[in-house]
Structure 1
Amino acid sequence: MKKIEVVETWLSEHLAMFQCPVCQSAIVNLDQHSLICSNRHFTNINKHGYVYFINHAAKGEYNREMLLDRRKLLQAGLFKPMVEVVARRLSAQDETILDVGTGEGTPLDQIRLARASSNDTYLGFDIAKDGVQLATQLDPHLFFCVADLRKLPFQSQQFSTIVEFFSPSDYGEFKRVLKPGGQVLKVIPNPDYLIELRQLLYADDQGHQTYSNQSVKDLFKVHYPQMEEERIQYQFDLPFDLRFSLVKMSPLHWGKSAKALTDEELIKLTQVTVDVQLLIGHQS
């Protein structure tokens, strides 16, 4: 089957989950490669196998090259232990899972693999079409779309779990689309996340060598006062051929004072620290 046929089959089975990006009315039909709402607005299904739910031009921070570097590291296992911790926070029952800021989709696919015995429903979205287009290369059980975090194209109370890996949040929209009793699993960096890379890039800039996630945690607690936390920390052995990819996939190298690393410096980068905090919030 062509990609567009695969995604149309998936959409036909999950049509009631979506709402029109123009008027927020229900999507009621799928015809001629388009989703059609009750007010007759049409949203086209892309030939690459995803839906573009934004009515304006949008560009993400990550370009295709960075996303490909990210995929190499993630498929080599950089995030796998943290993804497994997130997967263990899911229920034994079948879930409907939304991945916010999915990028090129690997973490969502790794959750699917960790829950191979479950009959879950998986959706990932990002504002960057480069990432979503790459994500459509993954398992056909995953659905991906381009969407705006501030105006999600989903009907209310559709998801049992929202997952986020280093992505921004819109807690108003999260509360709208989560089912009663649903949960948000948000992964944020701790101060020692990729500390070895940060120290190389900013050897002469002490300000950029430190980081605090306290404001993110404080805002999460405002919305989920009974929040839980779990620290996830481990060392990742960095394959030699992926050391430059690690630099390119991370926004750490965007800073004006970031050094251009030499081959000699990269050779010494044999291991990096993954140190993150998992924030868990429950929908009342």
Structure 2
Amino acid sequence: MTLSKKMINAQVMDRNADLFRCPICLAEMAMLDMSRLVCTHNHSFDLSKNGYVNLAPQAHMTKYDQSLFGARKTVMTSGFFDGVLDAVIKTIEGQGHAIILDAGCGEGSHLSTVVERLTGEVTGVGIDLAKEGITAAAKEYPGLIWSVADLANCPFQDDQFDTILNILSPANYAEFTRLLKPGGLFVKAVPESGYLKELRAIFYEDKEQKDDADPVARVAEHFDEISTERVIYTFPLADGLLAPLIQMTPLTWGASADKIEEALQTAIPEITIDFTLIFGVNREETG
């Protein structure tokens, strides 16, 4: 008998129910009837038909819709981001049993790739506030835990995760340090000046976009053993990839239809990927 995606995901949640805490009252949770997570104070959260759970108590509107996540999936499954993920996997490999949280997982492709390529027993948990992204993730990548959740109120117990990934997503460092086990690894991917520079030249007309924030210093405020790795490469744009790439990147949001059409008509043979990976170790508990 072939299990449904909902049942596959429910089984993973059931085995890892001790990870969860109620987003309303912070109580422990358990899986009931393989269909809902319920806390000890009887707050109940049903699994969707695809097997994700919505643990964001209040509805949130985001600017990320189904078509955007569809475009992102097309780009990411082409191998566009593999060089970055390879560097991430190389760093976190060898931890043995690993519980990995992707905070801001979008449509789930990054987490799925990391879990698939790591050796040993790995449990992947992906959260995002955009319901459309989590819906796509649960449908496409069964066997992982997917939840609509707020980074400011992560629905998990303290000291549960071996690794937290934060790729092209906002961070909540107070929550990340709470969730990571002592000695756990934090990984943040930050775009650098060369990232998608071919599109920047069109949409920003070569005007430099400055960001005064220092992400390495920010991570160092919360984590120890800080290290960085710069990952730069070019990726050939096969037929059909330029349009979804333009659609998925915030670089183009708010651009005029004429500017988008100009970009679509530009023969861009390859695109530049340029990231700094920041690694930090969660501070060990003291006395």
Relative to the length of structure 1, the TM-score reads 0.93
The amino acid of 1:105's aligned partner reads G
1:183-219 CA-to-partner distances (Å, cap 9, x unmatched) read 100001001110110111122x72xx42436432322
The aligned runs of 1:75-224 (5 Å cut-off) are 75-92=77-94, 93-115=96-118, 117-203=119-205, 206=207, 209-212=208-211, 214-224=213-223
Q: Which residue of 1 aligns with 2:250?
A: 251
Are the equivalent residues in 2 in contact too, given 1:193–1:274 (CA < 8 A)? Answer: yes
Partner Cα distance (2:34, 2:114) in 1: 32
SS at match of 2:221: helix
Partner Cα distance (1:244, 1:214) in 2: 30
Percent identity, aligned pairs only, is 31
Are the equivalent residues in 1 in contact too, given 2:149–2:155 (CA < 8 A)? Answer: yes
1:57 to 33, 56, 59: 59
Query: What is the root-mean-square deviation in Å for CA atoms of aligned residues?
Result: 1.9
User: How far apart are residue 27 of structure 1 and its match?
Assistant: 0.6
Q: Does 1:276 align with 2:275?
A: yes
SS at match of 1:172: helix
User: How far apart are residue 62 of structure 1 and its match?
Assistant: 1.4
Aligned length: 280
User: How far apart are residue 38 of structure 1 and its match?
Assistant: 1.1
User: How far apart are residue 59 of structure 1 and its match?
Assistant: 2.2
- Distance 1:199-1:10 versus aligned 2 partners, 3 A rule: same
SS at match of 1:235: strand
Partner Cα distance (1:264, 1:282) in 2: 41
SS at match of 1:89: helix
1:117-150 CA-to-partner distances (Å, cap 9, x unmatched) read 3210100010001000110123322111100000
Q: Does 1:43 align with 2:61?
A: no
- Distance 1:252-1:22 versus aligned 2 partners, 3 A rule: same
The amino acid of 1:41's aligned partner reads H
Q: Which residue of 2 aligns with 1:266?
A: 265
SS at match of 2:259: coil
User: How far apart are residue 47 of structure 1 and its match?
Assistant: 1.5
Are the equivalent residues in 2 in contact too, given 1:202–1:258 (CA < 8 A)? Answer: no
Are the equivalent residues in 2 in contact too, given 1:151–1:173 (CA < 8 A)? Answer: yes
Q: Which residue of 1 aligns with 2:23?
A: 21
Q: Which residue of 1 aligns with 2:69?
A: 67
Are the equivalent residues in 2 in contact too, given 1:53–1:146 (CA < 8 A)? Answer: yes
Stretches of structure 1 lacking an aligned partner (at least 5 in a row): none
Stretches of structure 2 lacking an aligned partner (at least 5 in a row): none
SS at match of 1:81: helix
Deviates further, 220-229 or 180-189: 220-229
Partner Cα distance (1:264, 1:63) in 2: 22
The amino acid of 2:116's aligned partner reads L
- Distance 1:127-1:264 versus aligned 2 partners, 3 A rule: closer
- Distance 1:225-1:15 versus aligned 2 partners, 3 A rule: closer
User: How far apart are residue 29 of structure 1 and its match?
Assistant: 4.3
Relative to the length of structure 2, the TM-score reads 0.92
User: How far apart are residue 48 of structure 1 and its match?
Assistant: 2.0
Partner Cα distance (2:62, 2:130) in 1: 4
Are the equivalent residues in 2 in contact too, given 1:19–1:27 (CA < 8 A)? Answer: yes
